[in-house]
Amino acid sequence: MQRLAHAGASVRAVVRNPSGDVAGAAVIQADLLEVATLAPALAGIKSLIHCAAITADHKEPFPGAYRRVNAEGTRNLVWAARRAGVEKIVLLNGLGTRRGSDRSYMRTRWEMSEAVRNSGLPWVALQPSILFGDRAPYPAALARLARQFPVMPVLGGSRRLQPLWVEDLVSCLTMAAGSSQWDGRSIDLGGPDQLTYREMTKLVMDTIGVHRPMVPLPPSLARVPARVMALLPNPPLVPATLELFDFDNVTQPDVVEETFGFQPRRITDHFLANGLDG
Ligand SMILES: NC(=O)c1ccc[n+]([C@@H]2O[C@H](COP(=O)([O-])OP(=O)(O)OC[C@H]3O[C@@H](n4cnc5c(N)ncnc54)[C@H](OP(=O)(O)O)[C@@H]3O)[C@@H](O)[C@H]2O)c1
């Protein structure tokens, strides 16, 4: 928000539960599932950056929440955006978003994209791999596990991911919102490094100075534990999470430079200088 405001934009932050100021933005309350809240939130808005979702690292807050919020919520938002005269939608989705099977988490993410693609408005979808920096959830979850357990389960093992710095994603979002250059494209994004999940786990443990023996946990063996853990209030793993380990979470290493013209930050350099945050 601050970056957009510094660039001269008048920014509105749409949140479900306003609990304070958002630097650089006017705050307004709305909920994707409460259609009546969307019209005032979108009135006068030219570019809409849609980052709201129930993600696979969270247990559904109510049964069917992935579908309701991601798919139906996005359709509500698109409908309200058209009525409000919004001129462009920038969607934040995940790398490798695909159709998935009926009733999968992935299907709900695909339907988000479909709603935006079929909106009739200019659109662009940015689809990053795992993010790091600024309390990004995946490195923080690994750090929590390492601190809490004597051994470190490594889900995904030799599958790869391509971490992107949150601030670099913000640069791409800002550029995509301000130009028609990338309209009509779904762009997978990642930073300059491709790591295996095992290497990522080790990097996080090295960064926080906690070392645990790593134990491979193949996604096929994690299915039953994930179902059981989903009964807990804040589980580290739910069945939807496992869908993200079905494929390599990577794209071309130079995609940000090729597409947006700048060199994104390396995760190793960032962790060395800032730890997990920053
Ligand atoms: N973090 C990553 O590594 C990563 C990587 C790739 C893609 N992404 C994508 O980036 C987006 C944001 O992810 P994140 O990690 O920032 O997740 P997050 O922290 O859980 O943010 C999701 C946001 O959606 C809002 N939301 C949920 N239900 C809503 C509803 N009914 N109406 C309005 N807002 C609602 C939440 O509001 P509350 O705060 O009120 O709950 C929250 O602010 C997601 O689409 C995610 O898939 C993230």
Tens-place pLDDT, residues 81-91:
999 999 999 99
Average pLDDT for 120-130: 98
- Say what percent of the chain tops pLDDT 90: 87
Mean pLDDT for all residues in the chain: 95
pLDDT for the residue 64: 97
pLDDT tens readout for residues 161-185: 999 999 999 999 999 999 999 999 9
The listed range with the strongest mean pLDDT (17-31, 53-67, 230-244) is 53-67
Residue 2's pLDDT is 83
Helix (H/G/I), strand (E/B), else coil: 196: strand
In order, the DSSP letters of 59-113 are --SSTTHIIIIIIIIHHHHHHHHHHHT--EEEEE--TT----STT-HHHHHHHHH
Q: What's the pLDDT at 182?
A: 98
Distance between CA atoms of residues 66 and 74, nearest Å: 11
- Answer whether residue 6 is part of any domain: no
Residue 123 φ then ψ, to 5°: -145, 160
Which atom of ligand 1 is closest in space to residue 132's alpha carbon?
Answer: 3
Structural domain includes residue 156: yes
**Element containing residue 115 per DSSP (H, E):** helix 105-117
Give CA–CA dist 70/112, Å, rounded.
Answer: 6
What is the total count of domains within the chain?
A: 1
Q: Please name the residue whose Cα sits nearest to atom 9 of ligand 1.
A: 93
Output the CA 56–ligand 1 centroid distance in Å.
10
Whole-number Å distance, alpha carbon 13 to ligand 1 midpoint, is 13
Assessment of whether the complete model's pTM goes beyond 0.75: yes
State the pLDDT at residue 21: 86
CATH number of the domain enclosing 220: 3.40.50.720
Query: Can you give the pLDDT at residue 278?
Result: 73
Q: What percent of the chain has pLDDT over 70?
A: 100
- For the CA of 54, the closest atom of ligand 1 is 27
Reply yes or no on whether the pLDDT at 100 is more than 90.
yes
In short, whether 133's Cβ falls inside 6 Å of ligand 1 is no
Range of the domain at 251: 31-274
* DSSP 8-state class, residue 261: S
Structure confidence at residue 205 (pLDDT): 98
The closest residue, in CA terms, to atom 41 on ligand 1 is: 16
Beta strand spans in the chain (E): 11-15, 25-29, 47-50, 88-92, 123-128, 131-132, 152-155, 160-161, 164-165, 186-189, 195-196, 214-217
Is 130 near ligand 1, meaning CB less than 6 Å away?
yes
Which residues neighbour 149 within 8 Å (Cβ) at sequence distance 6 or greater?
A: 212
Examine residue 21 and state whether it is found in any structural domain, yes or no. Answer: no
From CA 266, how far away is CA 220, in angstroms rounded?
31
Q: pLDDT tens for residues 210-257? A: 999 999 999 889 999 899 989 998 898 899 999 999 899 999 999 999
What is the C-alpha to C-alpha distance for residues 70 and 67, in angstroms, rounded to an integer? 5
